[in-house]
Amino acid sequence: MTATTARAFVVVRPGTGEIREVALPAPGPGDVLVRTLHSGISRGTETLVFRGEVPEDQRERMRAPFQTGDLPGPVAYGYLNVGVVEAGPPELLGRTVFCLHPHQTAYVVPADAVVPVPDGVPARRAVLAGTVETAVNALWDAAPLVGDRVAVIGAGMVGCCVARLLAGIPGIEVTLVDIDKERAVTAHALGVGFATPADAEGERDLVVHTSASGEGLQVAVDLLADEGTVLEMSWYGDRAVQVGLGGAFHSRRLRIVASQVGSVARARRSRRTTTDRLALALSLLRDEAFDLLLTDRSPFEELPAVLAALAAGRPALCHTVDYPEA
């Protein structure tokens, strides 16, 4: 027998969430039934959703793969989910898998929507797969070179994942830049340098910006060497951002380039699928250093209060959600 109902976290309206019972369809021949073990909160995007700050003209573009309802609400939104397959094809039965699914105790999706978690990757760490996938796409966009001097602005989930991947490229000098001096401990554990915006060295070949603030973007531009590039990964929702592009911006031939995970980076689009990219991200999570990003956890029942606290500014890197056993 398979489950016929599940519980899902729903943003009822901006600033308010609750857990609701939802019906589950019977799995078809090409489907899997997944019981969730852990989910992760993508703090930047999910708090924008929770506060209702997604611009109206971007609501369809920002739909999560298995989102139910519409922004600004009621809507079930999220995309960092790890569970175990309880019904489906024999090769997946009993496997721990990652899926881009909202916070829900169980769900039915097509079998090709889940990617098995490799041996050596704990289930809780695997919730970072979506964030590491974003970092992989960013490096495909940025194409850093051996020996580059790189700064990453913003020591949140995305910035830390980007910094860790950059640290594996020979000869690259990586500095994680953040206004919170306590992030220095995290940076050093990830194998990279640390600086505050006031202390960061300039003449960077590449600056990756992830802080989602206009001030951070200005720091990113200011740190560039001539003909350097800012890779902009932040998403600002409906907030306007100002950055100074006068002065020597044009004469120094500086660039600001957007990176977004919705499409495979152009440099790899003809040779890699989104599934390939996600599988690569999961394999990279064999690295135990990523456990440093799993800073907070709570049971599923507390998710409405947790999202409200995060949206109000409570600090966290990756807050994971633990689900009850079957």
Q: What pTM value is reported for the model?
A: 0.91
Higher local confidence (pLDDT), 286 or 45: 286
Q: Is the pLDDT of residue 77 over 80?
A: yes
pLDDT at residue 66, rounded to an integer? 95
> What pLDDT shows up at residue 326?
54
Q: What integer pLDDT is reported at residue 76 of this predicted model?
A: 97
Across 49-58, average pLDDT? 90
Distances (CA, A) of 110 to 9, 21, 85, 117: 21, 21, 12, 17
The pLDDT tens digits for 21-40 are 999 999 999 999 999 999 99
Query: pLDDT category, 97, cuts 50, 70, 90?
Result: very high
**pLDDT score for 2:** 62
pLDDT tens string 218-263: 999 999 999 999 999 998 877 888 898 988 899 999 999 999 888 9
Tens digits of residue pLDDT in 233-244 = 998 877 888 898
In the chain, the domains with their CATH numbers are 5-124+294-322 (3.90.180.10), 131-258 (3.40.50.720)
* Average pLDDT over the chain, rounded to an integer: 94
What pLDDT sits at residue 146? 95
pLDDT band at residue 86 under the 50/70/90 scheme: very high
Q: How confident is the model at residue 58 (pLDDT cuts 50, 70, 90)?
A: confident
Q: pLDDT class for 314, splitting at 50, 70, 90?
A: confident
Tens-digit pLDDT profile for residues 1-24: 467 999 999 999 999 999 999 999
Closest CA to 122 of 305, 3, 288: 288
* Percent share of the chain, pLDDT over 90: 85
Average pLDDT over residues 93-121: 97
